Amino acid sequence: MNEIRVFLTPEMANPRILKDSTCVVVDILRATSSWVTAIGNGAKLVRPVTTLKECKSLKSKGFLTAAERGGQKIEGFDLGNSPLEYTPAIVTGKKIAVTTTNGSRSIKYASAAKEIYIGAYLNLKALNQVLQNKGTVVVICSGWEGQPGIEDVIFAGEIVSLLSNTHVYTDDAALIAFELFKKAKQNMYFFLSQAMHVKRLLKLGLKKDIDYCLKKDVYDIVPRLIKDDIVSR
């Protein structure tokens, strides 16, 4: 059996473990959901960067720019981090530079991995099909400013569950995620309604984003990070 491991926050990501692994970066609300949507709607690539300055600088190179901090779009950028902004009319054929509070940092922490894929409910089935045939799988949960986010951990737990015929969990973080998923799936809405980031987004009037990010298998794609860019696999 192959191994599956979970890092509950990007800061916990251990390069020694990552180097021989297939890594899945997860930020359900909302970065990886936005990136899957962008690629699924025809964007040429998504380039996650960590600073507003670097994001803005790519405008002159023909990129659409997307920036979010604290869940809110930053003034002066083309897009925010709502997946509902990434429509085919806006993104088809475009290169998108993006910086978010957490998701774009997670990508940097994942950089030691052999392969890096983008995971969300929106592409869960396609992602699972890819991971079944991989060796060690590691899921990095983006969370919020260095703290675990329950929505990402529950998703990681579902990956542990889906891979249970081919992969065995070998750390307590994966066990925590698995147990949390088994409990949450009985009443996902109740569980997620308690999540700090769900409350934050609801306060910002972004319930539509939450509902959309929880939809399963909208896209049959598994975007992958190649060098600095997320592209269709």
Residues that bind ligand MLT (CB under 6 A): 27, 29-31, 68, 71, 81, 100-103, 142
Q: Which is nearer to ligand MLT, 45 or 198 (CB)?
A: 198
Q: Which is nearer to ligand MLT, 80 or 169 (CB)?
A: 80
Residues 116, 141: Cα–Cα separation, whole Å: 13
Q: In the bound complex, what is the minimum distance in angstroms from residue 4's beta carbon to ligand MLT?
A: 23
Q: In the bound complex, what is the minimum distance in angstroms from residue 79's beta carbon to ligand MLT?
A: 11
Q: Which is nearer to ligand MLT, 127 or 213 (CB)?
A: 213
Q: Which is nearer to ligand MLT, 4 or 31 (CB)?
A: 31
Alpha carbon 183 to chain centroid distance? 22
**Contact between residue 6 and residue 177 where contact means Cβ atoms under 8 Å apart:** yes
Residues 158, 57: Cα–Cα separation, whole Å: 38
CA end-to-end span of the chain, whole Å?
25
For residue 145, count other CB atoms closer than 10 A to its CB: 11
Give the single-character DSSP code of 133. Answer: T
Q: In the bound complex, what is the minimum distance in angstroms from residue 151's beta carbon to ligand MLT?
A: 10
Residues 201, 72: Cα–Cα separation, whole Å: 9
**Dihedral (CA of 173, 32, 27, 104) sign:** positive
Q: In the bound complex, what is the minimum distance in angstroms from residue 10's beta carbon to ligand MLT?
A: 10
Q: Which is nearer to ligand MLT, 9 or 100 (CB)?
A: 100
Q: In the bound complex, what is the minimum distance in angstroms from residue 16's beta carbon to ligand MLT?
A: 26
